[in-house]
């Protein structure tokens, strides 16, 4: 059941979104060749503790509970990368995804950051992935239902020569990180019964994942990390968005930076 939020509840979610944005700002400052993904995660956990926020990811149930406060996925890793001893290198693209609960309300955001000089292919992938997120947000007040938005954005990505990952979807968000509805990036006519209206009070975590190769994915032996089947690079961009009488509001505003990169 979709639960619409009041303006006061949306404001509380925006405060949680500020903490998530601060976590992303911290990662931006730290990202450099030689830093480990475990060091990045530890810094975000310390920030959440300092701000009185509860991490949403740590302990999330699965085959094994997720062990960290953030998902850090590098290059061919699509999502749910477990922070560890992996060292960031020049030319990597790093997808950082985290969320927190503050005063009973949640926010969640992801962004893919370039590290140093990018080759032209990765730079183009970053541009198309970020554009997919912003196109989704910009279409919200123009369309009546989510599937209309998703069809427009998936066509844009396809025309650019890339693929959206189909196996993972965005989600409603509120008092819990994952609420109804599911928010797929790729839709077809057979799924019409799961479409939903775009109306004030709706709060969504919209998160297109775009790859340069096949959209097929594999689950790694750690039970969490997901990679592209052909090891092609992938990007992940996500904001928590509230629909209001005045249009969509980005609750995690400030997350990310323009993907303008130096190409090698």
Q: Which percentage of the chain shows pLDDT scores above 90?
A: 93
- SS3 assignment, position 50: helix
Across 51-67, average pLDDT: 98
Q: Locate tokens 């689950």: which residue?
A: 219
Across 178-193, average pLDDT: 86
Contact 259, 127 (CB under 8 A): yes
- Identify the pLDDT of residue 256: 81
In tens, the pLDDT along 24-41 reads: 999 999 999 999 999 999
- Identify the pLDDT of residue 193: 82
0.75 exceeded by the pTM? yes
Q: What is the mean pLDDT of the chain?
A: 95
Pick 7-250's CATH classification: 2.102.10.10, 3.30.70.100, 3.40.50.150, 3.90.230.10.
3.90.230.10
Q: Locate tokens 């009070």: which residue?
A: 201
Q: Which percentage of the chain shows pLDDT scores above 70?
A: 96
Strand partners, 87: 36
Q: Where are the domains of the chain?
A: 7-250
Distance between CA atoms of residues 34 and 38, nearest Å: 12
- Identify the pLDDT of residue 189: 66
Residue 246 neighbours by CB distance under 10 Å = 8
The closest alpha carbon to 235, from 114, 117, 102, 137, belongs to 114
């Amino acid at each position: 059941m979709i639960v619409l939020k009041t303006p006061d509840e949306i404001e509380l979610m925006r405060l949680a979104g500020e903490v998530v944005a601060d976590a992303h700002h911290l990662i931006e400052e730290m990202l450099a060749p030689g830093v480990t993904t475990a060091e990045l995660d530890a810094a975000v956990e310390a920030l959440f503790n300092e701000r009185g926020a509860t991490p949403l990811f740590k302990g999330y149930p699965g085959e094994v509970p997720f062990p960290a406060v953030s998902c850090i996925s590098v290059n061919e890793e699509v999502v749910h990368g477990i922070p560890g001893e992996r060292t960031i290198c020049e030319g990597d693209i790093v997808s950082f995804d985290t969320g927190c609960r503050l005063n009973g309300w949640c926010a969640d955001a992801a962004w893919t950051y370039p590290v140093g000089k990018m080759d032209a292919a990765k730079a183009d992938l970053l541009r198309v992935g970020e554009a997919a997120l912003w196109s989704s947000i910009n279409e919200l007040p123009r369309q009546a239902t989510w599937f209309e938005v998703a069809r427009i954005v998936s066509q844009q990505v396809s025309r650019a020569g890339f693929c959206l990952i189909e196996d993972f979807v965005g989600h409603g968000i509120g008092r819990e990180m994952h609420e109804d509805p599911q928010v797929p990036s790729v839709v077809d006519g057979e799924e019409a019964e799961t479409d939903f209206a775009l109306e004030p009070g709706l709060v969504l975590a919209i998160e297109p994942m775009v790859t340069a190769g096949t959209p097929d994915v594999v689950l790694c032996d750690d039970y969490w990390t997901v990679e592209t089947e052909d090891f092609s690079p992938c990007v992940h961009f996500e904001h928590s968005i509230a629909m209001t009488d005045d249009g969509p509001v980005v609750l995690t505003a400030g997350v990310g930076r323009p993907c303008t990169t130096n190409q090698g």
